[in-house]
Copies of this chain bind each other. A is one copy, B any other.
């Protein structure tokens, strides 16, 4: 489906440099990663359950989710990934995963060989560090997701999820109205919040009536960010987004 384009890798590099300090050379090494562009249809597996991979995928466009599954087929989304994310970066170091990756909507991905990432990490320890750090942010999000699903009621859960996605997509927080694209079905929201589709529907209606959030098939409109964040008990710290430049990290020396 076509070869890699530097523009495809830029969002991933931006993601890394938003939290880690990288030299010019190190940044260049990221932009020069090889990869193959692919188009994935909605509901199609990108990584199947238990599959042993020799490449990772970088999301260029669209939404991708990590799925866990109960034996009686009840699905649970454990993470949602957006453009610039490398959802299975951990497979570089742990090739057999225990969950599946599936496109939530039509998505464009870039597959990058493990070998290339390992070579880059071996050449530049700061890249290994940045990779590790990025994975730990994902782990923080997992932990927060447990709290969300475990300790909040339907309305709070949905509100929290909308705030998380709005923040990660760079739309919030903001004083006025916030609108961001978020093309998921109510059934997918149900899989993410551990509710049923029916109850997600009623919850979205309730949020809309309360003028807290208006979720359509294409986008989310949040008239008052702070009000929704209060309902969802949302504290963005765990996302490690919007890190101030002087707080970006680098432990290793420059080679």
Which A positions have Cβ atoms within 8 angstroms of B? Answer: 50, 66, 68-72, 74-76, 78-79, 90, 92-95, 97-99, 118, 122, 125, 128-129, 131-133, 135-140, 142-147, 149-152, 194, 233, 237-238, 240, 249, 251-253
Contacts and interface: CB of A to CB of B under 8 A. Distances in A.
Contact of A149 (B97, B98, B139, B146): B146
Given A94-B136, A140-B98, A68 B253 contact: no
A153 to B, nearest CB: 10
B93 A233 contact: no
Contact of A135 (B99, B132, B240): B132
Given A70-B233, A128-B132, A97 B140 contact: yes
Contacts of A144: 68, 98
B146 A92 contact: no
Contacts of A93: 129, 132-133, 136, 249, 251
A232 B75 CA distance: 16
Nearest to A232: B71
Given A118-B251, A138-B139, A147 B92 contact: no
A21 to B, nearest CB: 12
A143 B78 contact: yes
A194 B153 CA distance: 12
Given A122-B253, A138-B139, A143-B142, A151 B76 contact: yes
